[in-house]
């Protein structure tokens, strides 16, 4: 579904990603773990099309197309979705109107009929249940005054409504208590399927107890230093990121 | 020619036309109001036009307006009904008074008298038929002795809207006052003059809107006075959507009695040069005054809102919110005065103004001005100037919403804080449609 080849990215002149390679196939769930500042969020934002990032070299092929040349809105219409680490508050824009506009833009792009108000309402009612979101939040302004947990649920709720092919979750677990984490993870698990891929970015292994990945990659200082199955997450949890760093340093010394 | 000489020259031009105007009035020059016109032209001759040394006009340069010698608007030939129809607000076609070049058009208007005693008519008719109301209220609040544009309007005032709501009457349907400037046959200056009198325990909703037809430059110098008597409520919406050939000066003076409520939502979208002078006077206890404004400007438009809320008596509340979106090389000016007189203890007065600049060349000059002479009051003011939130823009785009639409959603959200106070749903809806289309062009 997506192939990232030797991706190098800078922010304000500082090289953050130093050659990232990753291939994700439909139906797979990949987790990226790494310490703070390793470049996890940079990767998520570059894939979603945020403008403050300078791609120095490398390429990203998404379903055979050059993703990096697309506008953020075209990426979304092609099926890329980023669940934000810090969802922004947008006063004066109702959650329902916003989501209806987004959904109909995407449907139109895919050659589907726009949903009318009734069809939209019945869809969102059903999808809200996936993350046990309070229906009142639908009529509020986007994320305005939402608690941390409500914001994260709103992200996964949007994911459920927009039905992307590739869902990137940027530290969706941060700021969630264990109950909210279970609910969000449960919602994500219901959205897994053979046509959809997930890229789950997290600092902690905890989330991966509930969203069990097929592959785990460890990002340190802008490069993947280790890749493996779900058991790699457990090793990291046990030994910490220093274990990886030490192991690398040891191999360099040898 | 320097500014001072030119201003004198143009002032003389307007003064010299008073005689001919007076002769055109025929019989009505014998009515008592004509004495006020005469005092006003004398006062205008004294005052002249303000220059940039005048503190109140520091950021608004009138030279573009004052290079024109506009003739007094003549009573126009009627307009085709379909020309008028395009400007009529949704749901208000049957509560409509139409004014062309400041003169009432009976043929284009469509107003069915509602409750007994309510008068919705032209000022010209009221000057003849309602001398007692005219004498009591007209030119009693708008200060023609101090303000040159009020003086100029008062001198040339012959027509406009007259709304009189007797005591204990609530007018259910909003009244739509539609002003069209037709300059397809040439330039002019017009002096629409409106008088609103709301009796004790009465209620009325008024929607004033201003539009233009034709390309020639023109000058619309409007004055509206509103007397809001005890326990009355007036909802006042003004929408100015004239073309870029319009110079528009609008002066509002309200006078509130005990327990009365006055709401104004003021929207400016058009005009090359626009100046609003809005003054609310809360002249008795327990009054509420609300002043909400939204303006959007592009290209070389200049929109200036000078507002004043005068708390003359204790226990009153006022709230003011002005928001503007400026693109291109547009200029905005906001000046908000709040006076709290010595007697006006327990005043609550809040003011906020926010501007969104969409380009590097757009500017806003914003000045809150609080003059407080009482000691037990709550007053606050705030001003912010900024750009569209890039984070919010990216968020919307990352969900598949194209950039143009994302921009317009955020601008709309910004304006909404003002529009949500428009209590007539159909007007709000209609206005949002117009605005959405304008946002797309910004």
CA B351, CA B338: separation in Å to the nearest integer?
Answer: 8
Q: Answer left, alpha or beta for residue A224, where phi above 0 means left and psi between -120 and 50 means alpha.
A: beta
Q: Where are the domains of chain A?
A: 2-253
Q: pLDDT grade, residue B219 (50/70/90)?
A: very high
Using CA coordinates, name the residue in chain A closest to B410: A93
Q: pLDDT grade, residue B436 (50/70/90)?
A: confident
Six token digits for residue A33? 């773990």
ipTM at complex level: 0.95
pLDDT of B200 reads 98
Q: pLDDT grade, residue A251 (50/70/90)?
A: low
Q: Cβ contact (<8 Å) for B400 and A77?
A: yes
**Interface size, chain A vs chain B, as Cβ–Cβ contacts under 8 Å:** 74
Residue B440 has pLDDT above 90, yes or no: no
pLDDT of B60 reads 96
Residue A114 has pLDDT above 70, yes or no: yes
Q: Concatenated DSSP letters for B121-162?
A: EEHHHHHHH-HHHHHHHTTSSS-TTT-HHHHHHHHH----EE
Using CA coordinates, name the residue in chain B closest to A141: B413
Shortest Cα distance, chain B CAs vs residue A234, angstroms: 33
Residue B84 has pLDDT above 80, yes or no: yes
What is chain A's Cα-based Rg? Answer: 18
Which residues of A fall below an 8 Å CB-CB distance to B? 48-51, 71-73, 75-77, 81-82, 84, 87-88, 90-93, 98-99, 101-103, 105-106, 109, 141-142, 158, 162
CA A114, CA A108: separation in Å to the nearest integer?
Answer: 6
Q: Cβ contact (<8 Å) for B399 and A84?
A: no
Q: Cβ contact (<8 Å) for A76 and B397?
A: yes
pLDDT of A248 reads 66
Shortest Cα distance, chain B CAs vs residue A215, angstroms: 26
Which superfamily, per CATH, for A2-253?
P-loop containing nucleotide triphosphate hydrolases (3.40.50.300)
Q: End-to-end distance of chain B based on CA atoms, in angstroms?
A: 36
| Structure-model confidence comparison of residues B438 and B118, the more confident one | B118
Strand partners, B366: B334
Q: Cβ contact (<8 Å) for B399 and A49?
A: no
Q: Is the separation of the CB atoms in B422 and B428 below 8 Å? A: yes
Q: What is the DSSP letter of A231?
A: H
Could you read off the pLDDT of B145-184 as tens digits, one per residue? 999 999 999 999 999 999 999 999 999 999 999 999 999 9
Could you read off the pLDDT of A48-81 as tens digits, one per residue? 999 989 999 999 999 999 999 999 999 999 999 9
pLDDT of A240 reads 79
B46 Cβ contact list (under 8 Å, min separation 6):
none
Identify the three-state secondary structure at position A12: coil
With a pLDDT cut of 70, the percent of chain A lying above it is 96
Could you read off the pLDDT of B311-337 as tens digits, one per residue? 999 999 999 999 999 999 999 999 999
Q: To the nearest whole number, what is the mean pLDDT of chain A?
A: 92
pLDDT of A203 reads 87
Q: What is the dihedral of CA B418, B422, B428, B431, to 10 degrees?
A: -50
Q: Is the separation of the CB atoms in B65 and B247 below 8 Å? A: yes
Residue A166 has pLDDT above 90, yes or no: yes
Q: Cβ contact (<8 Å) for B395 and A73?
A: no
What average pLDDT score do residues B213-234 get? 98
B123 Cβ contact list (under 8 Å, min separation 6):
B104, B157, B158, B159, B160, B161, B162, B193, B194, B195
Q: Cβ contact (<8 Å) for B392 and A90?
A: yes
CA B384, CA B97: separation in Å to the nearest integer?
Answer: 38
Q: Cβ contact (<8 Å) for A88 and B401?
A: no
Shortest Cα distance, chain A CAs vs residue B425, angstroms: 17
pLDDT of A252 reads 53
Q: What is the dihedral of CA A13, A18, A19, A21, to 10 degrees?
A: -110
Contacts of B389 in chain A (CB under 8 A): 88, 90
Identify the three-state secondary structure at position B226: strand
Q: Is the separation of the CB atoms in B227 and B200 below 8 Å? A: no
Residue A254 has pLDDT above 80, yes or no: no
């Amino acid at each position: 579904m997506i192939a990232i080849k030797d991706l190098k990215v800078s922010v304000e002149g500082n090289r953050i990603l130093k050659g990232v390679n990753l291939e994700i196939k439909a139906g797979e769930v990949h987790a990226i773990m790494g310490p703070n500042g390793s470049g996890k969020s940079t990767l998520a934002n570059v894939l979603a099309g945020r403008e403050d990032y300078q791609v120095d070299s490398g390429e990203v092929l998404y379903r055979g197309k050059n993703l990096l040349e697309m506008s953020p809105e075209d990426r979304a219409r092609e099926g890329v979705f980023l669940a934000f680490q810090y969802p922004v508050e947008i006063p004066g824009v109702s959650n329902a109107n916003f989501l209806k506009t987004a959904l109909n833009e995407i449907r139109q792009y895919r050659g589907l009929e726009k949903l009318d108000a009734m069809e939209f309402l019945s869809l969102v009612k059903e999808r809200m249940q996936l993350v046990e979101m309070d229906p009142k939040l639908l009529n509020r302004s986007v994320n305005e005054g939402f608690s941390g947990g409500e914001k994260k649920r709103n992200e996964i709720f949007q994911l459920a409504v927009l039905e992307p092919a590739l869902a990137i979750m940027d530290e969706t677990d941060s700021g969630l208590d264990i109950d909210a984490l279970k609910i969000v993870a449960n919602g994500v698990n219901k959205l897994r399927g053979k046509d959809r891929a997930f890229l789950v970015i997290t600092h902690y292994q905890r989330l991966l107890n509930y969203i069990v990945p097929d592959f785990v990659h460890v990002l340190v200082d802008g490069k993947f230093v280790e890749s493996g199955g779900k058991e790699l997450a457990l090793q990291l949890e046990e030994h910490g990121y220093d274990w990886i760093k030490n192991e690398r340093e040891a191999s360099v010394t040898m | 020619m320097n500014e001072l000489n030119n201003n004198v020259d143009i002032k003389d031009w307007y003064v010299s036309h008073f005689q001919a105007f007076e002769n055109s009035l025929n019989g009505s020059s014998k009515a008592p109001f004509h004495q006020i016109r005469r005092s006003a032209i004398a006062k205008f001759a004294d005052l002249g036009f303000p220059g940039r040394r005048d503190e109140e006009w520091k950021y608004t340069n009138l030279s573009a307006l004052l290079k024109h010698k506009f003739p007094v608007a003549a009573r126009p030939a009627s307009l085709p009904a379909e020309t008028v129809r395009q400007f009529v607000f949704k749901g208000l076609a049957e509560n409509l008074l139409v004014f062309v070049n400041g003169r009432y058009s009976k043929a284009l208007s469509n107003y069915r008298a509602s409750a007994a005693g309510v008068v919705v008519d032209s000022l010209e008719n009221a000057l003849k038929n309602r001398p007692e109301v005219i004498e009591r209220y007209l030119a009693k609040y708008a200060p023609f002795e101090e303000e040159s544009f009020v003086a100029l309007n008062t001198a040339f005032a012959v027509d406009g809207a007259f709304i009189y709501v007797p005591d204990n009457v609530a007018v259910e349907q909003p009244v739509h006052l539609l002003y069209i400037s037709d300059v397809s046959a040439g330039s002019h200056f017009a002096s629409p003059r409106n008088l609103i009198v709301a009796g004790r325990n009465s209620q009325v909703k008024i929607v004033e809107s201003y539009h233009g037809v034709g390309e020639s430059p023109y000058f619309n110098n409007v004055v509206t006075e509103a007397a809001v008597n005890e326990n009355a409520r007036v909802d006042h919406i003004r929408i100015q959507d004239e073309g870029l050939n319009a110079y528009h000066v609008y002066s509002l003076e309200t006078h509130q009695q005990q327990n009365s409520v006055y709401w104004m939502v003021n929207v400016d979208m058009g005009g090359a040069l626009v100046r609003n002078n809005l003054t609310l006077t809360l002249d008795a206890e327990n009054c509420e005054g609300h002043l909400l404004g939204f303006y959007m400007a592009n290209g070389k438009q200049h929109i200036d809102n000078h507002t004043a809320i005068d708390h003359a008596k204790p226990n009153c509340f006022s709230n003011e919110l002005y928001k503007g979106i400026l693109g291109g090389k547009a200029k905005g000016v906001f000046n908000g005065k709040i006076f709290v007189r010595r007697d006006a203890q327990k005043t609550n007065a809040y003011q906020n103004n926010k501007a969104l600049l969409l380009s590097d060349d757009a500017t806003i000059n914003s000045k809150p001005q609080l003059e407080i002479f009482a000691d037990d009051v709550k007053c606050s003011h705030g001003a912010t100037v900024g750009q569209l939130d890039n984070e919010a823009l990216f968020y919307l785009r990352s969900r598949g919403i194209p950039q143009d639409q994302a921009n317009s959603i955020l601008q709309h959200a910004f304006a909404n804080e003002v529009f949500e106070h428009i209590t007539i749903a159909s007007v709000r809806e209609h206005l949002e449609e117009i605005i959405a289309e304008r946002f797309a062009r910004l």
